Amino acid sequence: MNATLTIVSDEDQSLTYLTEARKHHTQAVIAKHLGVGVRTVSRWEARQSRPPAYLSHALQQLLPFPETSTEAGSFDFIDLFAGIGGIRKAFEQIGGRCVFTSEWDSYAQKTYAENYRDGHPIAGDITQVDAESIPDHDMLLAGFPCQPFSIAGVSKKNALGKAHGFACETQGTLFFDVARIINTKRPRAFLLENVKNLISHDKGRTFDVIRRTLTEDLGYHIHYRVIDGAHFTPQHRERILIVGFREPVAFDFDALPMPPKGEHKLKEILHRTDGTEPVLEWDESRFFDHKKKRVLDKYTLTDNLWRYLQNYAEKHRAKGNGFGFGLVTPESVTRTLSARYYKDGSEILIYQGKSKNPRRLTPRECARLMGFPDTFRIPVSDTRAYKQFGNSVVVDVMAHVARLMQPMLEADTLEPELALRFATA
Ligand SMILES: C[S@@+](CC[C@H](N)C(=O)[O-])C[C@H]1O[C@@H](n2cnc3c(N)ncnc32)[C@H](O)[C@@H]1O
């Protein structure tokens, strides 16, 4: 059979993406994202010159996400340390299908099961799961807990000796279980998420073990970057993302759109008191009194707690420490929502005027702050919900990274960096 090979120039694709991107962004925003001048973008639009092919991928990153993927199931992934599925959400948006989940906390499992109904049971403790029993998958996702581990005690010879491999250095840690599964299943790619401090932990030795395990022992090509959620939501949340590919591919974290921090303000996620707050049938009046158009009083701090927090902050200020509560207004970008927010809410307290104590965010507002849509159900107590959102990820960050990885997850191209599309006739 004769097959003709048609090589389609990616310049056409760049132009299509530019036209689409202009429906959502100004020339200035596009220019900044691409690192070119506004006049260049304007010349492209006027068809006086063409956007180069290599910008096609970066331009695609500026397009809005579809509500739901049109290509469901174009690759399979597994969701480890799944929590409430924040990373999963992003990879479903680009057409991934989750084929295995592990999460051992029964309350997180409850929220997860309520929101993702795909039929497969949720496996518990990952350390007890035989890697061979996990279904084949293209992509492994893991926001593994940073359980501190030190390589102290491992002799230099052992630490560097390939013969010992990752088993020796990481045994007994949850990262070991991630590595063990990658080693057995050899997925095309993975995404690991962790706190920013992973890089500096134990003077950089922990990260070095992780990096060497993934590259030298497992043979993957990795890229990592610390990303602040404040580019996408009104919350500072710096997390390290480590992306790995089995084959060398032209993945580039620099192609990620980074809108200026501070563009998103807290008011975007607060319950609206002007009568436009949506009535969610699954929340009803759990957080918000729709008749009175205000957040329930139980989220306002008691006099005792507010006094305690102020005294605590004052004590530390006197000692020259910066600890204290984080008082915010609708125009603010918040501190990082932590899993301990349920205790006193001190990192994010909403100012309610001089005559009223500040209030905490409601769990629904926490969901929004983390980028979860209002369709996300919260079937657990407030305490559990605060913990779950505080442990999760900014879904928007994950969504952008997922889209950046997408071409490398779906295409079996040997030279993806050329971004050529072949059509046979
Ligand atoms: C940092 S959170 C990850 C949250 C997740 N990325 C999300 O979007 O919600 C880590 C999760 O790992 C779970 N976990 C810790 N040890 C585990 C184990 N041995 N087996 C399964 N899950 C575990 C915790 O219960 C927690 O929900």
Cα 89 to ligand 1 centre (Å): 15
> What's the angle, vertex CA 164, arms to CA 160 and CA 167, rounded to 5?
110
75-258+395-409 under CATH 3.40.50.150, yes or no: yes
Of 395, 348, 338, the closest CA to residue 372 belongs to 395
> What's the angle, vertex CA 255, arms to CA 5 and CA 50, rounded to 5?
55
Amino acid in position 193:
E
Asked whether this chain's domains 5-60 and 266-391 adopt the same fold, the reply is no
Strands 421-424 and 5-8: antiparallel
The radius of gyration of the chain's CA atoms, rounded to the nearest angstrom, is 24
Q: Domain boundaries in the chain?
A: 5-60, 75-258+395-409, 266-391
Q: Which two tokens stand for residue 299?
A: 């989220």
Tokens 């997860």 correspond to 112
The verdict on the CB of residue 386 being under 6 Å from ligand 1 is no
Q: Give me the chain's average pLDDT, please.
A: 84
Cα 109 to ligand 1 centre (Å): 10
For residues 86, 201, 252, 335, the Cα torsion angle rounded to the nearest 10 degrees is 50
- Closest atom, ligand 1, to C-alpha of 393: 8
Q: How far lies 180's CA from each of 174, 184, 186, 208, 243, in Å? A: 10, 6, 10, 17, 17
- In angstroms, the CA 200 to CA 206 distance is 8
- Residue 353: phi and psi, rounded to 5, are 95, 170
> How does pLDDT run across 93-133, given as a tens digit for each residue?
998 999 999 999 999 999 999 999 877 889 999 999 999 99
pTM: 0.81
Contact yes or no for 72/95 (Cβ under 8 A): yes
- In angstroms, the CA 404 to CA 257 distance is 10
Kindly list the averaged pLDDT for each block of 10 residues, start to end, along the chain of length 425: 40 79 82 82 86 72 57 81 97 93 95 87 92 96 73 41 56 86 97 91 87 94 96 95 95 90 93 91 92 96 93 80 82 94 91 95 97 94 97 95 89 42 29
Contact yes or no for 164/217 (Cβ under 8 A): no
Cα 85 to ligand 1 centre (Å): 10
- Closest atom, ligand 1, to C-alpha of 88: 8
- Residue 23 pLDDT: 79
The verdict on the CB of residue 107 being under 6 Å from ligand 1 is no
For residues 216, 221, 225, 227, the Cα torsion angle rounded to the nearest 10 degrees is -120
- Closest atom, ligand 1, to C-alpha of 388: 9
Tell me which residue has its CA closest to atom 11 in ligand 1: 81
Tell me which residue has its CA closest to atom 20 in ligand 1: 125
Tell the CATH topology of 5-60: 434 Repressor (Amino-terminal Domain) (1.10.260)
For residues 25, 31, 37, 41, the Cα torsion angle rounded to the nearest 10 degrees is -60
Catalytic status, residue 146: yes
Burial of 326 (0-12, 13-18, 19+ CB in 10 A): middle
> What's the angle, vertex CA 135, arms to CA 129 and CA 141, rounded to 5?
75
Tokens 């389609």 correspond to 8
Cα 147 to ligand 1 centre (Å): 11
Strands 288-289 and 238-245: unpaired
The verdict on the CB of residue 227 being under 6 Å from ligand 1 is no
Q: How far lies 387's CA from each of 115, 338, 383, in Å? A: 17, 7, 6
- In angstroms, the CA 230 to CA 238 distance is 8
CATH class (in words) of the domain with range 266-391: alpha beta
Strands 238-245 and 189-195: antiparallel
> How does pLDDT run across 293-349, given as a tens digit for each residue?
999 999 999 999 999 999 988 887 777 666 678 999 999 999 999 999 999 888 999
The verdict on the CB of residue 147 being under 6 Å from ligand 1 is no
The verdict on the CB of residue 358 being under 6 Å from ligand 1 is no
| Local structure of residue 139 (DSSP, 8 states) | E
Residue 301 has, within 13 A of its CA and on its CB side, a CA count of 28
